[in-house]
Each structure stands twice: as C-alpha cells, then as structure tokens.
C-alpha cells in the first residue's frame, strides 16, 4: 500500500478533491453525493451522517484518454 495525499475544499454544495492523481468534483445532495473522480469515472454514494459509514457505486466507467 502506497502513500496517498488528498485535500478537500468545499464551495457551497460542491466539493473539490485535489490529490496526486488530479482533481475530482462532487456535489452534495443531502445524504447522497454525485461525483466525478480524478480518473473521469462518475460515482454515486450514500452515507449515514456522523458515522463515517457510506456506500459508493460507479455510475459509469468512462475514463479520459491518456
């Protein structure tokens, strides 16, 4: 397992996640979150507030060309 780094910044309901792989974006929809990770895959997650428990599922596996 390698060393990882991530910084999150909230701009209203939008969160920008900056990591060593790039920038990902997500939007908060209450207990739901819809996002686009740094590799270009869209994901959907749902969580229980205050517990740290959440479930994430990839919506599609479209990746940016390299």
CB 31 within 8 A of CB 49: yes
Question: Would residue 65 count as lying in a domain?
Answer: no
pLDDT in tens, the chain (66 residues): 578 787 999 999 999 999 888 999 999 998 999 999 988 899 999 999 889 899 999 987 556 566
Which tokens go with 26?
């997500």
Question: Would residue 64 count as lying in a domain?
Answer: no
d(CA 61, CA 43): 9
Question: Would residue 41 count as lying in a domain?
Answer: yes
Range of the domain at 36: 6-58
Question: Would residue 66 count as lying in a domain?
Answer: no
Question: Would residue 44 count as lying in a domain?
Answer: yes
> For the chain, what is the domain count?
1
Report field, pTM of the whole predicted structure over 0.85: no
Question: Would residue 1 count as lying in a domain?
Answer: no
Residue 2: its H or E element: none
Question: Would residue 30 count as lying in a domain?
Answer: yes
């Amino acid at each position: 397992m390698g060393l990882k780094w991530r910084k999150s910044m909230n701009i209203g309901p939008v969160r920008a996640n900056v990591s060593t792989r790039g920038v990902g974006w997500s939007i908060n929809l209450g207990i739901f979150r819809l996002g686009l990770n740094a590799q270009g895959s869209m994901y959907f997650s749902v969580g229980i507030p205050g517990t740290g428990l959440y479930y994430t599922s990839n919506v599609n596996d479209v990746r940016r060309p390299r």
